[in-house]
Chain A
């Protein structure tokens, strides 16, 4: 890091010695800008997916539902039995039997407000809030089977679990994509630097002939490529941030829809140019060291 700062302070004399080599300037600027843009996007995606996954995970562990469907004469007894069992089960917090009004509200979106509930035989729904890890669903189901055969324990996990997996998968893939972006950026800059070093073979020979140490020559090239990459990456990051900010923020329940950055996450993309500069520093040094090994 110190070396990096020294480098930015710079030695303009050494800069003059290395001529600007046309296409590598553009290659470095453009590729670092593009990669920074992608990196910001993928970073936002990874953070969003991670956020979604943990939100779902939290929602998952919060509540469960017990649904009791039984012949009318047994319904009330089974519901009472369920409430007794729940009260004895560790991991179960408060329970709440949904009233007829609440059930009507739940069903209204599908059947309209005017639903004649009393003419329908509805199951009884008990909302259960869970403590910690929640109850052991297997044990609970066994007790229900014995004492309230019409009760079904639904911990919401059956349908949410795959979505959590999907969201975590998305996060993992985003992080892999980020690694690939880092790798491709590193290789691109190393190649651009190699091309520049090769194009300046004569300059390097002369510098060695007149007594330049390797570090002098390396510095001249490294400084140039690090600065170019930094500039390109800052550009790409800014455009990427604007793009992320412009993604409409629709919060559809249960879908990865709010791709974007929240709160302190807005600071993370600023690491992208810094990381790119460090990458360029390493890649160019690597290229220069390899090249100089061929010069006596």
Chain B
């Protein structure tokens, strides 16, 4: 068990190995090799349509690369069964680009969904939930329907849901997509806090000011999709 623990710490949270992705013959990217070490903070940027969301989906097994492989904690997603993918997602919290809620459930019920589907019998669930709702600033909106939330509130609800099982990895796809600067900073702060708790964070965004802001506070790396390849962006940001 100890041995395994030591090994586990060396394994990258997420690794892409010569990954290529194409939709019906159109290649989005190829030969992509990236390594997200545990506890690291990465931004993923690139023009709209470059394939940020697609790359995110590779990371949580919603898509499989057309070539190469993707590993999550050393496990090749291509070799995982559907149930293994499902269980892997409990350790990889996803904030989807358009949030995705179950519309007829309340905000807090949506946030609790990962707990319900995992069948985990969590003690202090109510306390944890209200703490989490307080952390994202949605205490007053817990009983509302997702449709009644503003864009920024939806993003924070999605983030709360992504972290309720205390996953090791957070994948956030444009979490500041359609919110103002102040709200963007709030959401960024939440991600930075999570990273300080040791979580691996990958955040897709095309908001350069947000990235610059983040870099003053954490040692975040920036991956940029350009053409069909990915590069580590340097100081020009």
Contact = CB atoms under 8 A, between A and B. Distances in A.
A216 interface: yes
Contact of A203 (B63, B102, B114): B102
A215 B96 CA distance: 23
The 3 A-B pairs of least Cβ separation, nearest first, read A212-B117, A211-B89, A211-B90
Contact of A202 (B88, B100, B109): B100
B117 A202 contact: no
18 contacts: A13-B116, A17-B105, A17-B116, A202-B100, A206-B102, A207-B102, A208-B86, A209-B89, A209-B96, A210-B161, A211-B89, A211-B90, A211-B114, A211-B117, A213-B82, A292-B82, A296-B62, A296-B85
Interface string B77-90: 00000110111111
A296 B61 contact: yes
Contact-residue bracket for chain B: 20 to 34
Nearest to B117: A212
Contacts of A19: 104
B220 to A, nearest CB: 25
B90 A202 contact: no
Interface residues of A, number: 21
Given A209-B96, A210-B161, A211-B118, A202 B103 contact: yes
Interface string A182-209: 0000000000000000000011011111
B189 to A, nearest CB: 24
Nearest to A205: B100
B117 A213 contact: yes
B86 A214 contact: yes
A16 interface: yes
A13 B89 CA distance: 20
Contact of B87 (A16, A207, A213): A213
A209 B104 CA distance: 17
B73 interface: no
B86 to A, nearest CB: 4
Contacts of A14: 116
Nearest to B88: A211
Contacts of A205: 100
A296 B63 contact: yes
Contacts of B102: 17, 202-203, 206-207
A209 B116 contact: no
A92 B117 CA distance: 76
Contacts of A212: 86, 117
A210 B114 contact: yes
B107 interface: no
Nearest to B61: A296
Interface string B142-162: 000000000000000000010
A175 B161 CA distance: 54
A206 B157 CA distance: 14
A213 B62 contact: no
Interface in B56-107: 57, 61-63, 82-83, 85-90, 94, 96, 100-105
Given A206-B101, A211-B165, 9 more contacts: A17-B102, A208-B89, A209-B100, A210-B161, A213-B87, A214-B82, A214-B83, A214-B86, A215-B83
Contacts of B103: 202
Given A17-B113, A202-B100, A296-B61, A209 B87 contact: no
Contacts of B105: 16-17
Contacts of A216: 117, 119
B82 A210 contact: no
A209 B82 contact: no
Nearest to B89: A211
Contacts of B62: 209, 296
A216 B90 CA distance: 14
A22 to B, nearest CB: 13
Interface string B174-198: 0000000000000000000000000
A213 B105 CA distance: 20
A215 B83 CA distance: 9
